[in-house]
């Protein structure tokens, strides 16, 4: 595939940019994470705006933006973290379908708030799937490689008419709703209540694998080592320092730290847009 074949060329990608579709489902027993977009509602909205399918691949753009040259005219939509969007230097709408002519340069600037923006294109980004998915897993780097300058992104043949939406969905705000995890008994009495009463902040170790939180440590009363066991999306595990880690889309499928709680799937989009230093609280689901 070359630019002459209609592929879009990435001109600049100063931060992490990856391809994400619905994810690599059903392979956890082989040690393969699911991946997929961290802010699933934002990615789904971008697809809908350009008339795409539920499993079309989108670009997940982290913090610093991306610039591409259109190899073929297409409808595009940018959702998620707000950022300036331009076509050949002209400002266009965020959260709406925009037509990009062949040869034009599309630019997503750095985000104004949050962390991750999503770029959908009519027909989807038609890269070759790996193990049944076009998602990039950043833990083991399974899937398409990281998107960078010079990357050529083919687009699908379908370019449906954009879809008019009356309401642009927004991620839920507020505390993360949790249910008790399977290892609450490994912690001191009252730990569940203390987890939901403590004000945490996101630490510097925040990526697609998980969010490490800073705050009052949770006290373990059973220090016996756990056998490696399966972990789920949204699990709140507690390493030896007592500070919780919320596992996100690229998390390992097994772990040895006790899981004290699990974040509701509907609230994981909140985690996708949290930056280091942002406040985090938990509440009983």
pLDDT at 229 over 90: no
For residue 4, the model assigns a pLDDT of 57
The number of beta carbons lying within 10 Å of the beta carbon of residue 280 is 20
For residue 170, the model assigns a pLDDT of 56
**Nearest-angstrom CA–CA distance, 128 and 58:** 13
The pair of structure tokens assigned to 16 is 């992490």
| Nearest by Cα to 70 from 104, 93, 98, 109 | 104
pLDDT, one tens digit per residue, over 269-280 is 999 999 999 999
**Nearest-angstrom CA–CA distance, 51 and 162:** 5
For residue 158, the model assigns a pLDDT of 73
For residue 168, the model assigns a pLDDT of 52
For strands 282-284 and 176-180, give the pairing: parallel
| DSSP letter, residue 48 | H
pTM: 0.93
Mean pLDDT of the chain: 92
Q: Give the helix/strand (H/E) hosting 112.
A: none
The number of beta carbons lying within 10 Å of the beta carbon of residue 31 is 11
For the chain, state the CA radius of gyration. 20
Q: How far is CA 26 from CA 32, 33, 34, 67, in A?
A: 9, 9, 8, 34
SS3 category, 37: coil
- Comparing 20-29, 233-242, 243-252, the range with the smallest average pLDDT is 20-29
CA 134 to the chain's CA centroid? 14
pLDDT, one tens digit per residue, over 99-158 is 999 999 999 999 999 999 999 999 999 999 999 999 999 998 999 999 999 999 999 987
176-284 placed in CATH 2.40.100.10? yes
The residue that leads in pLDDT, 64 or 33, is 64
pLDDT at 213 over 90: yes
**Nearest-angstrom CA–CA distance, 145 and 16:** 11
What are the residue ranges spanned by the domains of the chain? 3-153, 176-284
Q: How confident is the model at residue 261 (pLDDT cuts 50, 70, 90)?
A: very high
| Percentage of residues in the chain having pLDDT higher than 70 | 95
For residues 218-223, average pLDDT:
88
pLDDT, one tens digit per residue, over 154-190 is 999 877 777 776 555 555 677 999 999 999 999 999 9
Q: How confident is the model at residue 191 (pLDDT cuts 50, 70, 90)?
A: very high
Residue 209 near residue 251 (C-beta atoms within 8 A): yes
**Nearest-angstrom CA–CA distance, 182 and 185:** 8
The residue that leads in pLDDT, 253 or 236, is 236
The pair of structure tokens assigned to 100 is 């990009």
DSSP output for 66-132 = EEEE-SS-EEEEEEES-EEEEETTEEE-SSS-EEE-TT-EEEEEEESSSSEEEEEETT-B-PPPBTT
For residue 146, the model assigns a pLDDT of 96
The partner residues of 67 in beta bridges, in order of sequence, read 12, 107
Q: How far is CA 62 from CA 3, 34, 114, 188, in A?
A: 25, 19, 9, 38
For residues 83-100, average pLDDT:
96
| DSSP letter, residue 137 | B
What angle is formed at CA 82 by the lines to CA 140 and CA 91, rounded to 5 degrees?
Answer: 120
What's phi and psi for 152, nearest 5 deg? -105, 125
For residue 253, the model assigns a pLDDT of 86
Length of the chain in residues, anyone? 285
For residue 256, the model assigns a pLDDT of 86
CA 39, 205, 274, 229 torsion-angle sign = positive
């Amino acid at each position: 595939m070359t630019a002459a074949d209609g592929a879009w060329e990435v001109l600049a990608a100063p931060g992490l940019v990856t391809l994400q579709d619905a994810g690599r489902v059903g392979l956890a027993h082989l040690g393969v994470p699911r991946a997929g977009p961290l802010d699933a509602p934002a990615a789904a909205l971008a697809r809908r705006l350009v008339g795409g399918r539920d499993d079309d691949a989108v670009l997940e753009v982290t913090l610093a933006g991306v610039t591409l040259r259109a190899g073929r005219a297409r409808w595009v939509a940018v959702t998620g973290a707000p950022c300036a969007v331009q076509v050949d230097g002209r400002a266009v709408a965020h959260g709406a379908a925009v037509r990009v002519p062949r040869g034009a340069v599309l630019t997503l600037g750095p985000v104004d708030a949050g962390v991750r923006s999503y770029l959908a294109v009519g027909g989807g980004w038609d890269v070759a799937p790996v193990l049944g998915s076009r998602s990039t897993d950043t833990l083991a780097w399974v899937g398409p490689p990281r998107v960078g300058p010079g990357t050529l992104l083919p687009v699908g043949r379908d370019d449906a008419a954009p879809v008019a939406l009356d309401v642009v969905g927004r991620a839920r705000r507020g505390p993360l709703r949790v249910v008790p995890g399977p290892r609450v008994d490994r912690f001191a009495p009252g730990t569940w209540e203390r987890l939901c009463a403590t004000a945490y902040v996101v630490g510097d170790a925040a990526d697609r694998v998980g969010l490490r939180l800073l705050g009052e440590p949770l006290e373990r009363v059973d220090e016996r080592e756990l056998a490696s066991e399966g972990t789920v999306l949204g699990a709140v595990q507690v390493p030896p320092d007592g500070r919780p880690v919320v596992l996100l889309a690229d998390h390992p499928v097994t772990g040895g730290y006790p899981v004290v709680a699990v974040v509701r799937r509907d609230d994981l989009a909140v985690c996708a847009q949290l930056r280091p230093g942002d406040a985090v609280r938990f509440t009983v689901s």
